[in-house]
Amino acid sequence: MELIEGLRWFVALAETEQVTAASDMLRISQPTLSRRLARLERDIGAELFDRHGRRLELNDRGRVLLEHARRAATELAAAQREIAAFDSPDRGTVRLSFLHSFGTWLVPDVLRAYREAHPRVSFTLYQDAAQTLVDRVVEGRDDLAFVSPRPRTSLVHWTPVTYQRLALAVPSAHPLNTRTELDLAAAADEQFIGMHEDYGMRRIFDELCAEAGIVPDVVFESSELATIGGLVSASLGVAVMPWQEPRSWPEGVVLIPLRGAGREIGMIRAQGRRLPPVAERFLRFTADSQREEPPKTDRGQVTDV
**pLDDT for 247:** 54
d(CA 267, CA 89): 18
Q: How many CB atoms lie within 10 A of CB 238?
A: 24
d(CA 224, CA 182): 24
Is the bond preceding residue 175 a cis peptide, omega within 30 degrees? no
**pLDDT for 245:** 54
The stretches in the chain having pLDDT less than 70 are: 1-6, 80-89, 244-248, 290-305
Cβ atoms of 57 and 50 closer than 8 Å? yes
pLDDT tens-digit profile of 67-104?
888 888 778 777 766 666 566 567 788 999 999 889 88
**pLDDT for 119:** 92
**pLDDT for 74:** 79
CB-based contacts of 74, cutoff 8 Å, min separation 6: none
Q: How many CB atoms lie within 10 A of CB 196?
A: 12
Question: What is the secondary structure of 76-105 as a DSSP string?
Answer: HHHHHHHHHHTT-TTSEEEEEEE-GGGGGT
Helix (H, G, I), strand (E, B) or coil at 2: helix
- N- to C-terminal Cα separation, the chain: 49
d(CA 87, CA 85): 5
By the 10 Å C-beta count (0-12 exposed, 13-18 middle, 19+ buried), 208 is classed as: buried
Amino acid at 213: G
Tell me the whole-structure pTM to 2 decimals.
Answer: 0.64
**pLDDT for 223:** 87
